Structure 1
Amino acid sequence: MTARLPFCVCVPARNEEERLPRLLEALAQQDVAGLVPVAICLNNSTDRSAEAIAGIAERHRGRLAIGLDIVSFAPDLAHVGSARASAMIAGLEQLGDKAGVLIATDADARPPSDWITTNLDAIAAGGTIVGGRLVLDDNDPIPPELSAARALWDRYWTEVREIEDEIDPSPWDPPPRHGDHTGGSLAMTAEIYRRSGGVPLLASGEDRALVDAALSAGGRLVHPMSVWTRVSVRQDGRAANGMAEMMKRMGDTAANGGIELAPALSHWRQRALWRREMRQAVCDTGRLIEAERALPRMPHDAVLADMGLGS
Protein backbone atom coordinates (compact mmCIF):
# COMPACT_ATOMS: atom_id res chain seq x y z
CA MET A 1 0.00 0.00 0.00
CA THR A 2 1.36 3.42 -1.01
CA ALA A 3 2.16 5.67 1.94
CA ARG A 4 -0.16 8.64 2.33
CA LEU A 5 1.30 12.01 1.41
CA PRO A 6 1.78 14.41 4.34
CA PHE A 7 -0.71 17.27 4.21
CA CYS A 8 -2.02 20.30 6.05
CA VAL A 9 -5.43 21.98 5.72
CA CYS A 10 -5.01 25.77 5.53
CA VAL A 11 -7.84 28.12 6.54
CA PRO A 12 -8.11 31.93 6.62
CA ALA A 13 -10.79 33.08 9.05
CA ARG A 14 -12.29 36.31 10.31
CA ASN A 15 -15.26 36.56 12.68
CA GLU A 16 -16.30 32.95 12.05
CA GLU A 17 -17.44 31.76 15.48
CA GLU A 18 -20.58 30.23 13.95
CA ARG A 19 -19.26 28.57 10.78
CA LEU A 20 -15.72 27.59 11.72
CA PRO A 21 -16.78 24.90 14.24
CA ARG A 22 -18.77 23.20 11.45
CA LEU A 23 -15.68 23.08 9.27
CA LEU A 24 -13.51 21.72 12.06
CA GLU A 25 -16.10 19.08 12.98
CA ALA A 26 -16.15 18.00 9.33
CA LEU A 27 -12.35 17.78 9.31
CA ALA A 28 -12.46 15.62 12.45
CA GLN A 29 -14.79 13.24 10.57
CA GLN A 30 -12.45 12.75 7.60
CA ASP A 31 -11.75 9.15 6.63
CA VAL A 32 -7.96 9.53 6.77
CA ALA A 33 -6.20 7.79 9.64
CA GLY A 34 -4.24 9.64 12.31
CA LEU A 35 -3.91 13.33 13.02
CA VAL A 36 -5.45 15.90 10.71
CA PRO A 37 -3.13 18.95 10.67
CA VAL A 38 -4.92 22.29 10.34
CA ALA A 39 -3.34 25.76 10.05
CA ILE A 40 -5.72 28.64 10.78
CA CYS A 41 -4.98 32.33 10.35
CA LEU A 42 -7.55 34.16 12.48
CA ASN A 43 -7.21 37.76 11.42
CA ASN A 44 -8.73 41.02 12.65
CA SER A 45 -11.54 39.21 14.46
CA THR A 46 -13.78 40.81 17.05
CA ASP A 47 -15.98 37.83 17.90
CA ARG A 48 -15.34 34.61 19.86
CA SER A 49 -13.77 32.65 17.02
CA ALA A 50 -10.62 31.93 19.04
CA GLU A 51 -12.65 30.48 21.91
CA ALA A 52 -14.66 28.36 19.46
CA ILE A 53 -11.45 26.99 17.95
CA ALA A 54 -10.07 26.20 21.41
CA GLY A 55 -13.23 24.29 22.28
CA ILE A 56 -13.07 22.17 19.13
CA ALA A 57 -9.34 21.55 19.61
CA GLU A 58 -9.98 20.26 23.12
CA ARG A 59 -12.90 18.09 22.02
CA HIS A 60 -10.88 16.52 19.21
CA ARG A 61 -7.51 16.36 20.91
CA GLY A 62 -5.63 13.46 19.32
CA ARG A 63 -7.52 13.90 16.05
CA LEU A 64 -7.12 17.55 15.01
CA ALA A 65 -3.67 19.14 15.26
CA ILE A 66 -4.69 22.79 15.04
CA GLY A 67 -2.08 25.48 14.65
CA LEU A 68 -3.72 28.86 15.30
CA ASP A 69 -2.16 32.19 14.39
CA ILE A 70 -4.09 35.21 15.71
CA VAL A 71 -3.10 38.22 13.64
CA SER A 72 -4.14 41.86 13.36
CA PHE A 73 -3.19 43.07 9.91
CA ALA A 74 -2.83 46.77 9.13
CA PRO A 75 -5.95 48.20 7.45
CA ASP A 76 -4.48 48.05 3.95
CA LEU A 77 -3.58 44.37 4.43
CA ALA A 78 -6.66 43.27 6.37
CA HIS A 79 -8.05 41.09 3.61
CA VAL A 80 -8.32 37.48 2.49
CA GLY A 81 -5.09 37.58 0.47
CA SER A 82 -3.00 38.30 3.56
CA ALA A 83 -4.94 35.79 5.65
CA ARG A 84 -4.70 32.97 3.11
CA ALA A 85 -1.00 33.63 2.57
CA SER A 86 -0.41 33.47 6.33
CA ALA A 87 -2.39 30.22 6.64
CA MET A 88 -0.45 28.62 3.77
CA ILE A 89 2.89 29.68 5.27
CA ALA A 90 1.81 28.11 8.56
CA GLY A 91 0.86 24.98 6.63
CA LEU A 92 4.33 24.83 5.10
CA GLU A 93 5.82 25.14 8.56
CA GLN A 94 3.70 22.21 9.77
CA LEU A 95 4.94 20.12 6.84
CA GLY A 96 8.55 21.06 7.53
CA ASP A 97 10.90 19.62 4.93
CA LYS A 98 8.44 16.92 3.87
CA ALA A 99 7.21 16.83 0.28
CA GLY A 100 3.57 17.18 1.17
CA VAL A 101 0.33 18.84 0.12
CA LEU A 102 -1.34 22.09 1.19
CA ILE A 103 -5.14 21.87 1.06
CA ALA A 104 -6.81 25.27 1.21
CA THR A 105 -10.42 25.85 2.16
CA ASP A 106 -12.61 28.59 3.59
CA ALA A 107 -13.97 28.91 7.11
CA ASP A 108 -17.58 28.52 5.95
CA ALA A 109 -17.01 25.27 4.03
CA ARG A 110 -18.26 21.83 5.14
CA PRO A 111 -16.38 19.12 3.27
CA PRO A 112 -17.55 15.52 2.92
CA SER A 113 -15.73 12.80 4.83
CA ASP A 114 -13.55 11.77 1.86
CA TRP A 115 -12.47 15.29 0.92
CA ILE A 116 -8.87 14.97 2.10
CA THR A 117 -8.55 11.46 0.65
CA THR A 118 -9.82 12.46 -2.80
CA ASN A 119 -7.49 15.47 -2.89
CA LEU A 120 -4.50 13.31 -2.01
CA ASP A 121 -5.57 10.68 -4.54
CA ALA A 122 -5.68 13.34 -7.26
CA ILE A 123 -2.16 14.46 -6.34
CA ALA A 124 -0.93 10.86 -6.30
CA ALA A 125 -2.43 10.38 -9.77
CA GLY A 126 -0.24 13.14 -11.20
CA GLY A 127 -1.95 16.46 -10.56
CA THR A 128 -0.01 19.13 -8.71
CA ILE A 129 -2.97 21.54 -8.34
CA VAL A 130 -6.43 20.17 -7.50
CA GLY A 131 -9.59 22.24 -7.80
CA GLY A 132 -12.60 21.13 -5.79
CA ARG A 133 -16.18 21.48 -6.99
CA LEU A 134 -18.30 23.87 -4.89
CA VAL A 135 -21.77 22.71 -3.88
CA LEU A 136 -24.30 24.79 -1.94
CA ASP A 137 -24.57 23.51 1.62
CA ASP A 138 -27.86 21.65 1.97
CA ASN A 139 -27.86 22.43 5.71
CA ASP A 140 -28.45 26.08 4.81
CA PRO A 141 -31.88 27.39 3.78
CA ILE A 142 -31.68 27.80 0.00
CA PRO A 143 -34.45 29.84 -1.66
CA PRO A 144 -35.90 27.87 -4.61
CA GLU A 145 -35.20 30.68 -7.07
CA LEU A 146 -31.54 30.79 -5.98
CA SER A 147 -31.22 27.02 -6.33
CA ALA A 148 -32.72 27.19 -9.82
CA ALA A 149 -30.41 30.04 -10.85
CA ARG A 150 -27.35 28.18 -9.58
CA ALA A 151 -28.42 25.03 -11.45
CA LEU A 152 -28.77 27.05 -14.66
CA TRP A 153 -25.28 28.48 -14.29
CA ASP A 154 -23.93 24.98 -13.59
CA ARG A 155 -25.40 23.75 -16.87
CA TYR A 156 -23.88 26.74 -18.67
CA TRP A 157 -20.41 26.02 -17.34
CA THR A 158 -20.81 22.33 -18.22
CA GLU A 159 -21.42 23.40 -21.83
CA VAL A 160 -18.35 25.66 -21.72
CA ARG A 161 -16.16 22.80 -20.49
CA GLU A 162 -17.46 20.52 -23.23
CA ILE A 163 -16.38 23.11 -25.80
CA GLU A 164 -12.93 23.38 -24.21
CA ASP A 165 -12.53 19.61 -24.01
CA GLU A 166 -13.46 19.25 -27.68
CA ILE A 167 -11.15 21.97 -29.03
CA ASP A 168 -8.31 22.40 -26.52
CA PRO A 169 -8.23 19.39 -24.19
CA SER A 170 -5.77 19.10 -21.32
CA PRO A 171 -3.77 15.86 -21.34
CA TRP A 172 -3.87 15.64 -17.53
CA ASP A 173 -7.39 17.02 -16.88
CA PRO A 174 -9.70 14.85 -18.99
CA PRO A 175 -13.48 14.86 -18.92
CA PRO A 176 -15.63 14.41 -17.02
CA ARG A 177 -14.38 17.33 -14.96
CA HIS A 178 -15.81 20.33 -13.16
CA GLY A 179 -14.38 23.83 -13.49
CA ASP A 180 -13.89 25.17 -9.95
CA HIS A 181 -10.47 26.03 -8.55
CA THR A 182 -11.05 28.57 -5.80
CA GLY A 183 -10.01 28.95 -2.19
CA GLY A 184 -13.05 26.96 -1.07
CA SER A 185 -11.25 23.78 -2.14
CA LEU A 186 -7.77 24.07 -3.61
CA ALA A 187 -4.94 21.62 -3.03
CA MET A 188 -1.40 21.84 -4.34
CA THR A 189 1.92 20.26 -3.66
CA ALA A 190 4.21 22.17 -1.34
CA GLU A 191 6.80 22.16 -4.11
CA ILE A 192 4.59 23.87 -6.69
CA TYR A 193 3.33 26.29 -4.02
CA ARG A 194 6.89 27.37 -3.25
CA ARG A 195 7.69 27.68 -6.96
CA SER A 196 4.58 29.82 -7.49
CA GLY A 197 5.81 32.46 -5.04
CA GLY A 198 2.89 31.99 -2.67
CA VAL A 199 -0.51 33.65 -2.34
CA PRO A 200 -0.57 37.15 -3.85
CA LEU A 201 -1.60 39.79 -1.30
CA LEU A 202 -4.79 40.78 -3.09
CA ALA A 203 -8.03 41.90 -1.46
CA SER A 204 -9.96 39.60 -3.80
CA GLY A 205 -9.11 37.05 -6.47
CA GLU A 206 -6.03 35.86 -4.58
CA ASP A 207 -6.97 32.21 -5.12
CA ARG A 208 -7.23 32.43 -8.89
CA ALA A 209 -4.06 34.52 -9.02
CA LEU A 210 -2.30 31.78 -7.03
CA VAL A 211 -3.52 29.16 -9.51
CA ASP A 212 -2.24 31.23 -12.43
CA ALA A 213 1.15 31.60 -10.74
CA ALA A 214 1.28 27.86 -10.01
CA LEU A 215 0.41 27.06 -13.63
CA SER A 216 3.12 29.44 -14.82
CA ALA A 217 5.54 27.59 -12.53
CA GLY A 218 4.76 24.30 -14.28
CA GLY A 219 1.78 23.08 -12.26
CA ARG A 220 -0.75 20.59 -13.61
CA LEU A 221 -4.30 21.65 -12.71
CA VAL A 222 -6.92 18.91 -12.42
CA HIS A 223 -10.65 19.02 -11.63
CA PRO A 224 -11.75 15.48 -10.68
CA MET A 225 -15.48 15.14 -10.07
CA SER A 226 -14.67 13.19 -6.90
CA VAL A 227 -13.24 16.30 -5.19
CA TRP A 228 -15.94 18.63 -3.86
CA THR A 229 -17.04 20.54 -0.80
CA ARG A 230 -20.14 22.25 0.51
CA VAL A 231 -20.05 26.03 0.78
CA SER A 232 -22.29 28.46 2.62
CA VAL A 233 -25.09 30.26 0.82
CA ARG A 234 -24.67 33.30 3.05
CA GLN A 235 -24.70 36.70 1.42
CA ASP A 236 -22.65 38.60 4.01
CA GLY A 237 -19.22 37.13 3.33
CA ARG A 238 -15.82 38.25 4.57
CA ALA A 239 -13.98 38.65 1.25
CA ALA A 240 -14.53 41.53 -1.14
CA ASN A 241 -16.02 40.34 -4.44
CA GLY A 242 -16.17 36.82 -3.05
CA MET A 243 -18.74 34.07 -3.36
CA ALA A 244 -21.13 35.70 -0.88
CA GLU A 245 -21.41 38.79 -3.08
CA MET A 246 -21.98 36.57 -6.12
CA MET A 247 -24.72 34.69 -4.25
CA LYS A 248 -26.37 37.98 -3.23
CA ARG A 249 -26.36 39.27 -6.79
CA MET A 250 -27.73 35.97 -8.11
CA GLY A 251 -30.38 35.82 -5.39
CA ASP A 252 -31.47 39.43 -5.90
CA THR A 253 -31.72 38.94 -9.67
CA ALA A 254 -33.80 35.79 -9.26
CA ALA A 255 -36.06 37.26 -6.56
CA ASN A 256 -36.76 40.38 -8.64
CA GLY A 257 -37.48 38.44 -11.81
CA GLY A 258 -34.39 39.79 -13.54
CA ILE A 259 -32.50 38.09 -16.33
CA GLU A 260 -29.03 36.56 -16.15
CA LEU A 261 -26.72 37.45 -19.02
CA ALA A 262 -23.64 35.47 -20.03
CA PRO A 263 -21.23 35.30 -22.97
CA ALA A 264 -22.77 33.36 -25.84
CA LEU A 265 -21.23 29.92 -26.21
CA SER A 266 -19.77 30.97 -29.56
CA HIS A 267 -17.38 33.26 -27.67
CA TRP A 268 -16.08 30.29 -25.69
CA ARG A 269 -15.58 28.33 -28.90
CA GLN A 270 -13.54 31.20 -30.33
CA ARG A 271 -11.58 31.46 -27.07
CA ALA A 272 -10.78 27.72 -27.06
CA LEU A 273 -9.54 27.95 -30.66
CA TRP A 274 -7.40 30.97 -29.71
CA ARG A 275 -5.92 29.10 -26.73
CA ARG A 276 -5.07 26.08 -28.85
CA GLU A 277 -3.32 28.21 -31.45
CA MET A 278 -1.46 30.22 -28.81
CA ARG A 279 -0.42 27.09 -26.95
CA GLN A 280 1.09 25.69 -30.14
CA ALA A 281 2.77 29.00 -30.92
CA VAL A 282 4.26 30.01 -27.57
CA CYS A 283 4.53 26.68 -25.68
CA ASP A 284 4.72 28.65 -22.43
CA THR A 285 1.86 28.64 -19.93
CA GLY A 286 2.89 31.87 -18.25
CA ARG A 287 2.96 33.78 -21.53
CA LEU A 288 -0.38 32.25 -22.52
CA ILE A 289 -1.98 33.40 -19.26
CA GLU A 290 -0.61 36.93 -19.69
CA ALA A 291 -1.81 37.07 -23.29
CA GLU A 292 -5.31 35.94 -22.30
CA ARG A 293 -5.49 38.56 -19.54
CA ALA A 294 -4.80 41.22 -22.17
CA LEU A 295 -7.77 40.17 -24.31
CA PRO A 296 -10.96 42.26 -24.21
CA ARG A 297 -13.57 41.03 -21.75
CA MET A 298 -16.14 38.73 -23.35
CA PRO A 299 -19.48 40.49 -23.88
CA HIS A 300 -22.39 39.21 -21.82
CA ASP A 301 -24.69 39.17 -24.82
CA ALA A 302 -26.89 36.11 -24.31
CA VAL A 303 -29.82 35.50 -21.96
CA LEU A 304 -28.92 32.45 -19.90
CA ALA A 305 -32.48 31.12 -19.72
CA ASP A 306 -32.86 31.35 -23.53
CA MET A 307 -29.72 29.38 -24.42
CA GLY A 308 -31.38 25.97 -24.48
CA LEU A 309 -29.01 24.51 -21.91
CA GLY A 310 -29.47 20.82 -21.16
CA SER A 311 -30.89 19.65 -17.84
Structure 2
Amino acid sequence: MSDHRADRPPIGALAVIVPAHDEALLLPRALDALHTAAGHPALHGVALSLVVAADLCRDDTAAIARTAGADVVEVSARNAGIARHAAIRHALRRLGTPESATWIATTDADSRVPPDWLAHQLAQAAHGWDAVVGTVDVTVWPASYPAGAQTRYTADYRRAASRSPHAHPHVHGANLGLSARAYRAVGGFPPLASGEDVALVARLDRARFRVLRTTACPVDTSARFAGRAPGGFSAHLRRLAGAHPPVLEPDPPLTSRRVT
Protein backbone atom coordinates (compact mmCIF):
# COMPACT_ATOMS: atom_id res chain seq x y z
CA MET A 1 0.00 0.00 0.00
CA SER A 2 1.23 3.47 -0.84
CA ASP A 3 2.52 5.85 1.81
CA HIS A 4 0.69 9.17 1.37
CA ARG A 5 2.83 11.22 3.75
CA ALA A 6 3.66 14.73 2.65
CA ASP A 7 7.23 14.46 3.97
CA ARG A 8 8.55 12.25 1.19
CA PRO A 9 11.93 13.37 -0.12
CA PRO A 10 11.75 15.48 -3.29
CA ILE A 11 12.55 13.80 -6.59
CA GLY A 12 16.25 14.22 -7.26
CA ALA A 13 16.72 11.84 -10.18
CA LEU A 14 14.86 10.91 -13.36
CA ALA A 15 15.11 7.72 -15.40
CA VAL A 16 13.73 8.42 -18.89
CA ILE A 17 13.02 5.26 -20.86
CA VAL A 18 12.44 4.66 -24.58
CA PRO A 19 12.01 1.13 -26.01
CA ALA A 20 12.80 0.91 -29.71
CA HIS A 21 12.63 -1.75 -32.42
CA ASP A 22 13.91 -0.56 -35.82
CA GLU A 23 13.06 3.07 -35.08
CA ALA A 24 15.83 4.87 -37.01
CA LEU A 25 13.27 7.02 -38.83
CA LEU A 26 11.26 8.30 -35.88
CA LEU A 27 13.69 8.06 -32.97
CA PRO A 28 15.52 11.35 -33.70
CA ARG A 29 12.41 13.48 -33.22
CA ALA A 30 11.54 11.56 -30.05
CA LEU A 31 14.98 12.24 -28.60
CA ASP A 32 14.85 15.86 -29.73
CA ALA A 33 11.65 16.32 -27.76
CA LEU A 34 13.05 14.58 -24.70
CA HIS A 35 16.17 16.76 -24.69
CA THR A 36 13.92 19.82 -24.82
CA ALA A 37 11.84 18.49 -21.93
CA ALA A 38 14.99 17.74 -19.95
CA GLY A 39 16.04 21.39 -20.30
CA HIS A 40 12.94 22.70 -18.50
CA PRO A 41 13.87 25.02 -15.60
CA ALA A 42 11.91 22.83 -13.18
CA LEU A 43 14.51 20.09 -13.68
CA HIS A 44 17.42 22.22 -12.54
CA GLY A 45 19.53 20.13 -10.18
CA VAL A 46 17.73 16.86 -11.03
CA ALA A 47 20.00 14.04 -12.24
CA LEU A 48 18.73 12.44 -15.44
CA SER A 49 19.49 9.17 -17.20
CA LEU A 50 18.05 8.76 -20.71
CA VAL A 51 18.11 5.13 -21.84
CA VAL A 52 17.02 3.65 -25.16
CA ALA A 53 16.36 -0.07 -25.19
CA ALA A 54 17.33 -1.17 -28.70
CA ASP A 55 15.32 -4.36 -29.01
CA LEU A 56 16.39 -6.71 -31.82
CA CYS A 57 17.17 -3.76 -34.10
CA ARG A 58 18.37 -4.32 -37.68
CA ASP A 59 18.84 -0.63 -38.47
CA ASP A 60 20.76 2.31 -36.99
CA THR A 61 18.54 2.75 -33.94
CA ALA A 62 21.32 2.09 -31.42
CA ALA A 63 23.85 4.33 -33.20
CA ILE A 64 21.33 7.17 -33.49
CA ALA A 65 20.53 6.92 -29.79
CA ARG A 66 24.19 7.00 -28.80
CA THR A 67 24.88 9.97 -31.09
CA ALA A 68 22.04 11.78 -29.34
CA GLY A 69 23.69 11.22 -25.97
CA ALA A 70 21.43 8.44 -24.70
CA ASP A 71 22.62 5.29 -23.01
CA VAL A 72 21.72 2.20 -25.03
CA VAL A 73 20.74 -1.20 -23.69
CA GLU A 74 20.64 -3.79 -26.46
CA VAL A 75 18.19 -6.66 -25.97
CA SER A 76 17.01 -9.40 -28.30
CA ALA A 77 13.55 -10.09 -26.95
CA ARG A 78 11.19 -8.35 -29.40
CA ASN A 79 9.15 -7.68 -26.29
CA ALA A 80 8.15 -4.23 -25.04
CA GLY A 81 7.86 -5.26 -21.40
CA ILE A 82 11.30 -6.85 -21.33
CA ALA A 83 12.83 -3.89 -23.18
CA ARG A 84 11.33 -1.27 -20.85
CA HIS A 85 12.34 -3.24 -17.77
CA ALA A 86 15.93 -3.73 -18.99
CA ALA A 87 16.27 0.01 -19.68
CA ILE A 88 14.84 0.90 -16.26
CA ARG A 89 17.23 -1.43 -14.46
CA HIS A 90 20.14 0.11 -16.32
CA ALA A 91 19.01 3.67 -15.56
CA LEU A 92 18.46 3.00 -11.87
CA ARG A 93 21.89 1.40 -11.53
CA ARG A 94 23.49 4.32 -13.32
CA LEU A 95 21.71 6.93 -11.20
CA GLY A 96 22.38 5.12 -7.94
CA THR A 97 19.88 7.29 -6.08
CA PRO A 98 17.37 6.20 -3.42
CA GLU A 99 14.17 4.75 -4.85
CA SER A 100 12.11 7.19 -2.80
CA ALA A 101 13.78 10.11 -4.58
CA THR A 102 13.82 8.65 -8.10
CA TRP A 103 11.13 8.93 -10.78
CA ILE A 104 10.74 6.80 -13.93
CA ALA A 105 9.21 8.33 -17.07
CA THR A 106 8.51 6.17 -20.12
CA THR A 107 7.59 7.11 -23.67
CA ASP A 108 7.89 5.51 -27.12
CA ALA A 109 10.26 5.98 -30.03
CA ASP A 110 7.41 7.01 -32.35
CA SER A 111 6.17 9.68 -29.93
CA ARG A 112 7.06 13.29 -29.16
CA VAL A 113 6.65 14.56 -25.60
CA PRO A 114 5.74 18.22 -24.93
CA PRO A 115 8.38 20.58 -23.50
CA ASP A 116 6.85 20.48 -20.00
CA TRP A 117 6.31 16.71 -19.90
CA LEU A 118 9.00 15.86 -17.35
CA ALA A 119 8.27 18.99 -15.31
CA HIS A 120 4.59 17.99 -15.25
CA GLN A 121 5.41 14.53 -13.90
CA LEU A 122 7.71 15.89 -11.22
CA ALA A 123 5.03 18.36 -10.14
CA GLN A 124 2.56 15.50 -9.68
CA ALA A 125 5.14 13.51 -7.72
CA ALA A 126 5.59 16.53 -5.45
CA HIS A 127 1.84 16.45 -4.81
CA GLY A 128 2.11 12.89 -3.53
CA TRP A 129 1.13 10.87 -6.61
CA ASP A 130 2.91 7.55 -7.07
CA ALA A 131 2.17 7.33 -10.80
CA VAL A 132 0.96 9.55 -13.63
CA VAL A 133 -1.02 7.96 -16.48
CA GLY A 134 -1.36 10.38 -19.38
CA THR A 135 -3.08 10.51 -22.75
CA VAL A 136 -1.88 10.79 -26.35
CA ASP A 137 -2.68 12.95 -29.36
CA VAL A 138 -2.37 11.92 -33.01
CA THR A 139 -1.49 14.84 -35.28
CA VAL A 140 -0.15 13.07 -38.42
CA TRP A 141 -2.31 10.46 -40.13
CA PRO A 142 -1.37 8.22 -43.11
CA ALA A 143 -3.33 9.07 -46.25
CA SER A 144 -4.40 5.42 -46.49
CA TYR A 145 -6.70 5.68 -43.49
CA PRO A 146 -10.34 5.58 -44.66
CA ALA A 147 -12.26 8.83 -44.62
CA GLY A 148 -13.74 9.39 -41.19
CA ALA A 149 -11.32 7.13 -39.29
CA GLN A 150 -9.49 10.08 -37.78
CA THR A 151 -12.77 11.73 -36.81
CA ARG A 152 -14.08 8.53 -35.22
CA TYR A 153 -10.87 7.96 -33.28
CA THR A 154 -10.71 11.53 -31.99
CA ALA A 155 -14.37 11.58 -31.00
CA ASP A 156 -14.25 8.20 -29.25
CA TYR A 157 -10.97 8.91 -27.47
CA ARG A 158 -11.98 12.34 -26.25
CA ARG A 159 -15.44 11.15 -25.25
CA ALA A 160 -13.96 8.47 -23.03
CA ALA A 161 -11.48 10.90 -21.48
CA SER A 162 -14.00 13.68 -20.97
CA ARG A 163 -16.25 11.52 -18.80
CA SER A 164 -13.70 12.06 -16.06
CA PRO A 165 -10.56 13.99 -17.06
CA HIS A 166 -8.82 12.96 -13.83
CA ALA A 167 -9.76 9.28 -14.11
CA HIS A 168 -9.70 8.56 -17.86
CA PRO A 169 -9.60 4.91 -18.99
CA HIS A 170 -6.57 5.11 -21.28
CA VAL A 171 -3.11 3.67 -20.54
CA HIS A 172 -0.14 4.34 -22.84
CA GLY A 173 3.49 3.42 -22.39
CA ALA A 174 4.12 6.56 -24.45
CA ASN A 175 2.93 8.74 -21.56
CA LEU A 176 3.53 7.07 -18.24
CA GLY A 177 5.52 7.88 -15.12
CA LEU A 178 5.91 6.44 -11.65
CA SER A 179 8.17 6.43 -8.64
CA ALA A 180 10.99 3.91 -8.56
CA ARG A 181 9.71 2.76 -5.17
CA ALA A 182 6.28 1.93 -6.60
CA TYR A 183 7.86 0.26 -9.65
CA ARG A 184 9.95 -2.07 -7.52
CA ALA A 185 7.08 -2.79 -5.12
CA VAL A 186 4.83 -4.17 -7.88
CA GLY A 187 7.54 -6.07 -9.73
CA GLY A 188 7.98 -3.70 -12.66
CA PHE A 189 6.80 -4.16 -16.24
CA PRO A 190 5.74 -7.73 -16.94
CA PRO A 191 7.43 -9.48 -19.90
CA LEU A 192 4.60 -8.88 -22.36
CA ALA A 193 5.03 -8.07 -26.06
CA SER A 194 2.15 -5.60 -25.76
CA GLY A 195 -0.15 -4.51 -22.97
CA GLU A 196 2.75 -4.28 -20.53
CA ASP A 197 1.74 -0.73 -19.69
CA VAL A 198 -1.86 -1.71 -18.89
CA ALA A 199 -0.64 -4.62 -16.75
CA LEU A 200 1.76 -2.39 -14.80
CA VAL A 201 -0.94 0.17 -14.01
CA ALA A 202 -3.28 -2.64 -12.94
CA ARG A 203 -0.58 -3.83 -10.53
CA LEU A 204 -0.28 -0.31 -9.11
CA ASP A 205 -4.04 -0.10 -8.65
CA ARG A 206 -4.18 -3.46 -6.91
CA ALA A 207 -1.38 -2.40 -4.57
CA ARG A 208 -3.36 0.78 -3.82
CA PHE A 209 -0.71 3.21 -4.97
CA ARG A 210 -1.91 6.71 -5.77
CA VAL A 211 -2.37 6.73 -9.55
CA LEU A 212 -3.26 10.00 -11.28
CA ARG A 213 -4.97 9.63 -14.64
CA THR A 214 -4.80 13.01 -16.29
CA THR A 215 -5.40 14.58 -19.70
CA ALA A 216 -3.31 17.62 -18.78
CA CYS A 217 -0.08 16.86 -20.67
CA PRO A 218 -0.71 14.64 -23.74
CA VAL A 219 2.07 13.14 -25.85
CA ASP A 220 1.99 13.31 -29.66
CA THR A 221 2.20 9.80 -31.08
CA SER A 222 2.24 8.05 -34.44
CA ALA A 223 -0.79 6.72 -36.33
CA ARG A 224 1.22 4.31 -38.45
CA PHE A 225 -0.51 1.13 -39.60
CA ALA A 226 2.56 -1.07 -39.12
CA GLY A 227 3.19 -0.75 -35.40
CA ARG A 228 6.04 -2.38 -33.52
CA ALA A 229 3.97 -4.06 -30.77
CA PRO A 230 1.38 -6.68 -31.78
CA GLY A 231 -1.96 -5.69 -30.34
CA GLY A 232 -0.68 -2.21 -29.49
CA PHE A 233 -1.90 1.27 -30.36
CA SER A 234 -1.57 0.79 -34.14
CA ALA A 235 -3.68 -2.36 -33.93
CA HIS A 236 -6.40 -0.36 -32.18
CA LEU A 237 -6.31 2.23 -34.97
CA ARG A 238 -6.49 -0.48 -37.64
CA ARG A 239 -9.55 -1.97 -35.98
CA LEU A 240 -11.15 1.46 -35.86
CA ALA A 241 -10.39 1.96 -39.55
CA GLY A 242 -11.68 -1.50 -40.42
CA ALA A 243 -8.29 -2.75 -41.63
CA HIS A 244 -7.82 -6.48 -40.95
CA PRO A 245 -5.32 -8.08 -40.89
CA PRO A 246 -2.44 -5.63 -40.24
CA VAL A 247 -1.52 -3.59 -43.29
CA LEU A 248 2.22 -3.19 -43.77
CA GLU A 249 3.02 0.16 -45.32
CA PRO A 250 5.54 2.98 -44.89
CA ASP A 251 5.22 5.17 -41.81
CA PRO A 252 3.57 8.56 -42.34
CA PRO A 253 6.04 11.23 -43.55
CA LEU A 254 7.49 13.17 -40.65
CA THR A 255 10.07 15.92 -40.61
CA SER A 256 12.85 14.78 -38.31
CA ARG A 257 16.51 15.52 -37.84
CA ARG A 258 19.32 13.60 -36.25
CA VAL A 259 20.26 14.89 -32.81
CA THR A 260 23.89 15.83 -32.41
Quickly name the TM-score band, shorter chain normalised: 0.7 to 0.9
Taking only the aligned residue pairs, the percentage that are identical comes to 30
Residue-by-residue CA offset, 1:132-168 (whole Å, 9 max, x unaligned): 11111x2555755222011221243146x34xxxxxx
Q: Contact conserved, 2:140 with 2:223, CA < 8 A, in 1?
A: no
Q: Contact conserved, 1:122 with 1:224, CA < 8 A, in 2?
A: no
Give the letter aligned to residue 64 of structure 2.
Answer: A
TM-score by length of 2: 0.79
1:115 to partner: Cα distance: 0.5
Task: Please state which structure has a larger fraction of its residues in helix.
Answer: 1
**Distance across 2 between alignment mates of 1:244 and 1:152:** 17
Q: Aligned ranges for residues 89-108 of structure 1 at < 5 Å?
A: 89-98=89-98, 99-108=101-110
1:179 to partner: Cα distance: 3.5
What secondary structure sits across from 2:33 in the alignment? helix
1:28 to partner: Cα distance: 1.2
What secondary structure sits across from 1:38 in the alignment? strand
1:177 to partner: Cα distance: 5.0
For residue 41 of structure 1, what is the aligned residue in structure 2?
53
2:204 to 211, 214, 220: 214
**Distance across 2 between alignment mates of 1:71 and 1:47:** 14
1:149 to 143, 149, 152: 152
For residue 121 of structure 2, what is the aligned residue in structure 1?
119
For residue 87 of structure 1, what is the aligned residue in structure 2?
87
The gaps in structure 1 that reach 5 residues or longer are 58-65, 163-174, 254-311
CA pair 214-158 structure 1, distance change in 2 beyond 3 A: closer
What secondary structure sits across from 1:103 in the alignment? strand
Q: Contact conserved, 1:132 with 1:224, CA < 8 A, in 2?
A: yes
TM-score by length of 1: 0.67
Give the letter aligned to residue 217 of structure 1.
Answer: A
Residue 74 of structure 2 is aligned to residue 70 of structure 1: yes
**Distance across 2 between alignment mates of 1:119 and 1:101:** 9
Residue 21 of structure 2 is aligned to residue 14 of structure 1: yes
CA pair 219-184 structure 1, distance change in 2 beyond 3 A: same
Q: Contact conserved, 2:15 with 2:91, CA < 8 A, in 1?
A: yes
Residue-by-residue CA offset, 1:91-150 (whole Å, 9 max, x unaligned): 3223323221000111111011000000111111111010111111x2555755222011
Structure 1 runs, 4 residues or longer, greater than 4 Å off? 139-144
2:174 to 166, 184, 195: 184
**Distance across 2 between alignment mates of 1:133 and 1:48:** 29
Q: Contact conserved, 2:135 with 2:217, CA < 8 A, in 1?
A: yes
Q: Contact conserved, 1:130 with 1:181, CA < 8 A, in 2?
A: no
Q: Which structure has the larger Rg?
A: 1
Q: Which moved more, 1:78-87 or 1:88-97?
A: 88-97
For residue 33 of structure 2, what is the aligned residue in structure 1?
26
What secondary structure sits across from 1:29 in the alignment? helix
**Distance across 2 between alignment mates of 1:134 and 1:158:** 11
Residue-by-residue CA offset, 1:215-264 (whole Å, 9 max, x unaligned): 223311102332221110111111110001111221236xxxxxxxxxxx
What secondary structure sits across from 2:171 in the alignment? coil
Give the letter aligned to residue 242 of structure 1.
Answer: G
Give the letter aligned to residue 125 of structure 1.
Answer: H
Q: Contact conserved, 1:131 with 1:185, CA < 8 A, in 2?
A: yes
Give the letter aligned to residue 96 of structure 1.
Answer: G
**Distance across 2 between alignment mates of 1:50 and 1:230:** 22
CA pair 221-246 structure 1, distance change in 2 beyond 3 A: same
The structure showing larger relative contact order (alpha-carbon pairs under 8 Å, at least 6 residues apart) is 2
Q: Aligned ranges for residues 218-237 of structure 1 at < 5 Å?
A: 218-237=208-227
**Distance across 2 between alignment mates of 1:94 and 1:178:** 34
Compute the RMSD of aligned alpha carbons: 2.2
Give the letter aligned to residue 232 of structure 1.
Answer: S
Give the letter aligned to residue 86 of structure 1.
Answer: A
